Amino acid sequence: MPEGSELSDLVKEVQPAARRPMARISFAFIYPDRRGKNVMRQVGAVHSTRLGEDDSKTLKQLNFQTGDFLSVAIY
């Protein structure tokens, strides 16, 4: 199992909609910029039933920092 899929697996455990065959889970970081205004940066999207290039990404590789928010959208 790719190490980056751990987060999407956790989402699937608690949200049945994420387990649908055609479901996509999109991730974004929300953090304050230098002026203190919140910025949202898309960091990846995974599919519930097939592997893609974003499945192997880790929070560390994407420079996630303590205090950042993680936005998760299921569609």
pTM of structure:
0.87
High-pLDDT (> 90) share of the chain, %: 83
pLDDT tens per residue, range 3-28: 557 899 999 999 999 999 999 999 99
High-pLDDT (> 70) share of the chain, %: 95
Find all residues with CB under 8 Å of 74, minimum gap 6, and list them: 11, 15, 17, 18, 23, 24, 25, 26
pLDDT at residue 2 greater than cutoff 70: no
Domain ranges in the chain are 5-74
N- to C-terminal Cα separation, the chain: 23
* CATH architecture group of domain 5-74: Roll (3.10)
How high is the pLDDT of residue 48?
A: 85
In this predicted model, which residue has the larger pLDDT, 41 or 51?
Answer: 41
